[in-house]
Amino acid sequence: MKQEILVTRDRWQISVAVLEDGHLVEYFQEPSHLQGLVGNIYVGKVSRVLPGMASAFVDVGLDRDGFLFEGDMGPLNDLDEEELGVTNEKAASVKDLHQGQPLLVQVSKEPLGSKGARLTTQISIPGHYLIFMPNTDHVGVSRKIGGAERSRLKSGVKKIKGDGPGGFIVRTAAENVAEEDLAAEMQGLAELWALVKLRSAKADPPALVHQEADLISRAVREILLKGSGVVVSEDPEIAGRCRALLESLGQDSQRVSVWNDRDVSLFERYRVEQELERALQPRVWLPSGGCIVLQSTEALVAIDVNSGRFLGKKSLEDTAFLTNMEAVDEIVRQIRLRGLGGIIVIDFIDMTKRAHRDALVAKLQEALKADRSRSRILNISEFGLVEMTRKRTHKNLERVMTSTCPCCEGRGRVAAPWRVAQNILAAAANLPQPLKAIVKAAPDVVRYVEENRETLAVPAGLTMEPSEIFKPGKFEIRKI
């Protein structure tokens, strides 16, 4: 698989597009003057404790208080001056918290809609090859590494760690990395944690004590080091940063190049903007003529597979199987590109053969291996539904690229013309008689009223005037 990471920067933002075999599969952007929140560590202050909800709200200095669920609580770092940095080993509970208490927390999910950031007290600090977890003593290895290499890495990290505090997760990028490189990173992460504790001791909550790496550094760490892809950037400074990061890790800096074509921009060449526009549409067409429809709700994401214009050649079962199998790769690509997460329900076309159903689930599981976010799939149901969950940490593409419609206020529908006409007549009835007034409204509403004046019993003194500036459902009535 050919992987390309495209990086651009303008005065507003830094954008990263990830392509696999020429297809856009992931997209990230970050304001030039701001960095993301996920991974940031704060000394927060408990603002509310809700034992009945097994949760608490913590003020970390953002627009809205963060949300701490009891299931996201690990051992608490006591921030009392006399015991700073001492870890409380007993099982954590929101009942151990009290209003005004300082608390060391980390952002695990960005704010979403009206919800504040999701917080955890299970602190983890990611490096290029390892993740340091100061409050545990566990050593684990990525599930994507197997065989003798898995055993080598686990025993090597345990030996280097010795009796030292904290635990480590060995990342996929550490495969075939020398022990001395792992030891150097382990020491660096331990020193960074010591610095975080020192800042925490002096901080007046709420306060940020550790800022996660910016988008460019994360792209190198999370994507480039885990594969054999290349980076292409229009910005020589960004390309230089990426080369320096790779060289510091003993990697080939020739994997980074600068886009010098002045006739066409990098994103234009790879049609990134066109792919993003397609990803904002609910319907995606498949090469065969079938299609998938994606709809996000507050509770879950629903994906429907349709045969569309694909009629097949043999039988209904064969048509359904071919369409479903073709849809799998596009579904996974759209899930990754759109940043969909939480509960996802996929409604495949019904198939009667058990072998076809098993093959479909197997292909879906195989396709999801390319996804960096963790997911879990349940077996296909009798109704042809596949339920899955996918870890969500950032806002999805729709929330990043769009805002709530002022006309429908996020419902996706606006008031029908007949309903608006009723509201107009009700408002007119409350005006002093004899009535002589003018109404300005959207053209479709005015058209409906004029075509049905007799049926609606519109007063003769009421004049309708169409105006493009009025949103559907809105109108203005004024006495003449």
Spell out the residues 6+ positions from residue 350 whose beta carbon is closer than 8 angstroms to its own.
Answer: 320, 383, 384
Spell out the residues 6+ positions from residue 198 whose beta carbon is closer than 8 angstroms to its own.
Answer: none
Both tokens of residue 71?
């299931």
Instruction: Label residue 207 exposed, middle or buried (CB < 10 Å: 0-12, 13-18, 19+).
Output: middle
**Rounded Cα gap, residues 220 and 229, in angstroms:** 10
Both tokens of residue 466?
């169409």
Q: How many domains are there within the chain?
A: 4
Give yes or no: residues 297 and 242 share one domain: no
Give yes or no: residues 200 and 65 share one domain: yes
Domain that holds residue 23: 3-35+214-272
Question: Which of 210, 241, 261 is the C-terminal boundary of a domain?
Answer: 210
Give kind and range of the element (H or E) at residue 427.
helix 417-429
Give yes or no: residues 388 and 439 share one domain: no
Give kind and range of the element (H or E) at residue 66.
strand 66-69
- CA 127-130-134 angle, to 5 degrees, is 90
* DSSP secondary structure of 108-127: EE--BTTB--EEESS--EE-
Instruction: Label residue 307 exposed, middle or buried (CB < 10 Å: 0-12, 13-18, 19+).
Output: buried
Per the domain annotation, does 159 fall within a domain? yes
Per the domain annotation, does 188 fall within a domain? yes
**Rounded Cα gap, residues 8 and 266, in angstroms:** 8
**Rounded Cα gap, residues 179 and 139, in angstroms:** 15
Give yes or no: residues 16 and 76 share one domain: no
Give yes or no: residues 124 and 221 share one domain: no
For residue 363, which amino acid is it? K
Both tokens of residue 105?
């927390």
How confident is the model at residue 438, as a pLDDT? 94
**Rounded Cα gap, residues 59 and 216, in angstroms:** 28
Angle between helix 236-248 and 215-222 (nearest 10): 40
Per the domain annotation, does 410 fall within a domain? no
Q: Which CATH number fits the domain that encloses residue 263?
A: 3.30.420.40
Q: Is 145 helix (H, G, I), strand (E, B) or coil?
A: coil
Nearest to 239 by CA among 223, 259, 225, 224: 259
Residues of the chain with pLDDT under 70: 33-34, 75-91, 312
How confident is the model at residue 247, as a pLDDT? 86
Give yes or no: residues 221 and 152 share one domain: no
Per the domain annotation, does 338 fall within a domain? yes
**Rounded Cα gap, residues 456 and 398, in angstroms:** 41
Question: Which of 185, 210, 235 is the C-terminal boundary of a domain?
Answer: 210
Give yes or no: residues 456 and 382 share one domain: no
Per the domain annotation, does 229 fall within a domain? yes
Per the domain annotation, does 347 fall within a domain? yes
**Rounded Cα gap, residues 284 and 215, in angstroms:** 29
Give yes or no: residues 54 and 112 share one domain: yes
Q: Is 313 helix (H, G, I), strand (E, B) or coil?
A: coil
Give yes or no: residues 23 and 54 share one domain: no
Give yes or no: residues 167 and 246 share one domain: no
β-strands 3-9, 13-20: how paired?
antiparallel
Name the H helices within 203-226: 215-222
Give yes or no: residues 126 and 195 share one domain: yes
How confident is the model at residue 83, as a pLDDT? 33
Spell out the residues 6+ positions from residue 217 whose beta carbon is closer than 8 angstroms to its own.
Answer: 241, 245
Per the domain annotation, does 406 fall within a domain? no
Per the domain annotation, does 425 fall within a domain? yes
Angle between helix 272-279 and 316-338 (nearest 10): 110
Long-range contacts of 147-154 (CB under 8 A, 24+ apart): 149/175, 149/176, 153/182
Q: How many CB atoms lie within 10 A of CB 192?
A: 15
pTM of the model: 0.78
